[in-house]
Amino acid sequence: MSNVPDGLKYAKSHEWVKVEGGAAVVGITDHAQHELTDVVFVELPPLGASVKAGAPCAVVESVKTASDIYSPVTGVVRAVNPALTGNPALVNSDPYGEGWFFRVELASADEVAGLLSSDSYRAQIGG
C-alpha cells in the first residue's frame, strides 16, 4: 500500500504540496514513484520560472518512459532540488523527503485549499 502522509495536500495528477509560510514545496507521491518505476532523470523548471496550477512544469524519466509533472500551484520557482541531478533515484527512495522537486512562492495562499486532503487522495488511488 502506498504511503500518503497526513498534513500534506495532493493534486489529482499525483503531486504533493507542503505549505511553509507563503511558499510551497512540491514533489511526487509514493504512489506516483511506484507507478513510474526506477527514476533515472528529472528535468526541473528553471529558477524564477512562473508555474501555473495544472500546467506541466517538469519531466520525470523512468527506465521506460518520460512523464510530465504538473505544478499543483501557481507562483514563481524559488528553489529546485540540486540532489536530484546526481541521484534521481531519491524520488523512488524518499519521495516526500530528499526526493522533493521544487519550491514555489505562492501567488495565492487560497489556491492550496482547493487541493485534495490525504484522505481524498487515498480514496482516489484506491486505498
Residue closer to another protein by CB (options 38, 119) is 38
- Residues lying near another protein in the complex (CB under 8 A): 37-38, 40-41, 43, 59, 61, 63-66, 85
Residue closer to another protein by CB (options 63, 109) is 63
> What is the smallest separation between the CB atom of 10 and another protein, expressed in angstroms?
23
Residue closer to another protein by CB (options 37, 120) is 37
Residue 76: φ, ψ to 5°: -115, 135
84 Cβ contact list (under 8 Å, min separation 6): 42, 44, 90, 91, 99, 101
What the block records as the C-alpha cell of 31 is 504512489
> What is the smallest separation between the CB atom of 43 and another protein, expressed in angstroms?
6
